[in-house]
Chains A and B, each alone.
Chain A
Amino acid sequence: MAATIKYDEVQVGQEIPAVEYQVRRVNLVMYAGASGDFNPIHWNERHAKSVGLPDVIAHGMFTMAEGGRFVTDWAGDPGAVVDYGVRFSSMVVVPDDDQGATITISGVIEDKLEDKRVVVALNARSGDARVLSKARAVVQLS
C-alpha cells in the first residue's frame, strides 16, 4: 500500500480543504441495504417523528463513512488508514426533497507520529451542528 502524500511534506497544523457531501433519502436507503441497518428512523418519517425526532436522520455510520472518504481521498490509498474513530455528537436531519442535507468535512494535521504516521483531526458539520466530535484518523503516509 502506498499513500500519495509524503510524510516529510506535511506539517502539524496544515489544513485539508473542506469538501461537501450531499445526503438524500435515496442515499440512506442504499446505506440501509448495504450495511444491514434497517432502523426505520433512517427511512421512515412517520416512525422518526413518533419517537421524537424532527425528521428522518442519517445513519451515524453514513456520516462516519463520508469522513472516511474525505481521509482516503486525501491520502490517496484507502489502505493507508490504520485507525479511525469518532463520537456522534449531533444528528444529520435529511428532509424529503431533492436537496436533502449537506455534510461539510474539513481536516487538519494534528500530530506527526513515528513510522511516517500522522493524526488527521476531522471537523464535520451539517447546518449549524457539529455532527462528529473527537473524529481522528491515523494515516500511514509514504
Chain B
Amino acid sequence: MALNRDFVGRTFEASAPYEVSRTKIREFAAAIGDDNPIYRDKDAAVAAGHPDVIAPPTFPIVFSLSGAGQGISDPGLGLNYAMVVHGEQRFEYRRPIYAGDELVCTSTITEIRSVGRNEFLTIRSDVTSTSGELVCQTYNTIVERGGAA
C-alpha cells in the first residue's frame, strides 16, 4: 500500500530534551569498537580543544528519531515496519556534540516518493541546544520494500 502523502511536512517533537552523558558516549564508542580517548577521557578531549568528551559522528542516531517514531507508527501513514530497511543517512554538523549537552530534537517528514516497487520516506531532524543553538541536522531515509506495489 502506498504511503499517505498527506504526512509530508508534518513535524514531530521529542517529548523531552536528550541529555548526552559521558557514560552513553563511552558505551556507544565501545559498541562500534572505537577506542579513541576523545570519546572516553575528558583530559584527552580538552587537550584536543573540546570542553568535554565528544560523541562519534553517527551518535545522533541514538536519539534523533525519538520524536519521529510517533509519526511513522501512525496507522494513517500506512507504513509496514516489518518491510522497512534503512536507505540513506546523513549528519550535518554545526559543532560536535559534547557530554553535558541537552538536545532538543524536532523531526519533519520532508519527502515520500516511489522508486520502482518501493516507498522512500525521508525525515529531517533538527537538533538544537535548549537555548536554541542549532547543533546538527540529520537526514534519515527509510525504504518500505514492496510498499508501492
Contacts and interface: CB of A to CB of B under 8 A. Distances in A.
Do A and B truly interact?
yes
B36 A35 contact: no
Contacts of B50: 1, 79
A27 interface: yes
B16 interface: no
Contact of B88 (A1, A2, A37, A85): A85
Contacts of B17: none
A90 to B, nearest CB: 11
A88 B32 contact: no
- Indicate the size class of the contact surface on chain A: 35 or more
A89 to B, nearest CB: 10
B28 A27 contact: no
Interface stretch (B4-12, B55-63, B70-78): B55-63
A78 B58 contact: no
Given A61-B58, A78-B54, A84-B57, A35 B28 contact: yes
Interface of B: 24, 27-28, 30-34, 36, 38-39, 48-50, 54, 56-58, 61-62, 82, 85-93, 95-96, 139
22 contacts: A1-B49, A34-B27, A34-B31, A34-B32, A51-B82, A60-B86, A62-B32, A64-B58, A65-B56, A69-B32, A69-B36, A73-B36, A78-B36, A78-B56, A79-B48, A79-B96, A83-B92, A84-B90, A85-B89, A85-B90, A86-B89, A134-B88
Interface of A: 1-2, 21, 27, 30-31, 33-37, 51, 59-62, 64-66, 68-69, 71-73, 77-79, 81-88, 134, 137
Given A69-B56, A88-B89, 17 more contacts: A1-B49, A30-B31, A31-B31, A34-B28, A60-B85, A60-B86, A61-B58, A68-B56, A73-B36, A78-B36, A78-B56, A78-B57, A79-B54, A81-B57, A85-B88, A85-B90, A88-B86
